[in-house]
Structure 1
Amino acid sequence: MPHTIVTDVCEGVADCVEACPVACIHPADTKNAKGTDYFWIDFETCIDCGICLQVCPVKGAIVPEEKPDLQRLPV
């Protein structure tokens, strides 16, 4: 099951982007509710390896399950 980046918790640190072995994490073209950049995970590409969870310094920014309601995707 894919992981989810919680849009309004993400602070745009991007450690997850470089660590992802399948390049499924992408930058959004807008800001989140905190006014920071954020990233999103492509559920179709995610292999559920958990590396993003391990490297993200922002507590609660990534959850180990597919939760589309928590992650805003590009329009």
Structure 2
Amino acid sequence: MPHSIVTETCEGVADCVDACPVACIHPGSSKNLRGMDWYWIDFSTCIDCGICLQVCPVEGAIVPEERPDLQKTPQ
């Protein structure tokens, strides 16, 4: 199951972007409610490797399940 980035918790650190082996993490199209840059995971590309969870320094910014209710996904 793919992971999700919690849009309103993400601080745009982006350690996950460089660590992702399948390049499934992309920048958001605007700022989140806290005024921070944020990223999102393409659910169809994520291979559930968990590296993003390991490298993200922001507690609670990534959850280990597909949660479209927590992750904004630009269309």
Write out per-residue CA displacement over residues 41-67 of structure 1, whole angstroms, 9 at most, x where no aligned residue: 000000000000000000000000000
Q: Secondary structure at the match of 1:26?
A: strand
TM-score normalized by structure 2? 0.98
Write out per-residue CA displacement over residues 8-55 of structure 1, whole angstroms, 9 at most, x where no aligned residue: 000000000000000000001100010000000000000000000000
Structure having the larger proportion of residues in helix: 1
TM-score normalized by structure 1? 0.98
Identity across matched positions, percent: 76
Q: Secondary structure at the match of 1:40?
A: strand
- 2:68 counterpart letter in structure 1: P
2:62 matches 1:59: no
The ranges of structure 1 where at least 4 consecutive aligned residues each deviate by more than 6 angstroms after the TM superposition are none
Aligned to 1:44: 44
2:30 matches 1:30: yes
Q: Secondary structure at the match of 1:69?
A: coil
CA RMSD of aligned residues (A): 0.5
Structure having the larger proportion of residues in strand: 1
Unaligned residue ranges in structure 2 (runs of 5+):
none
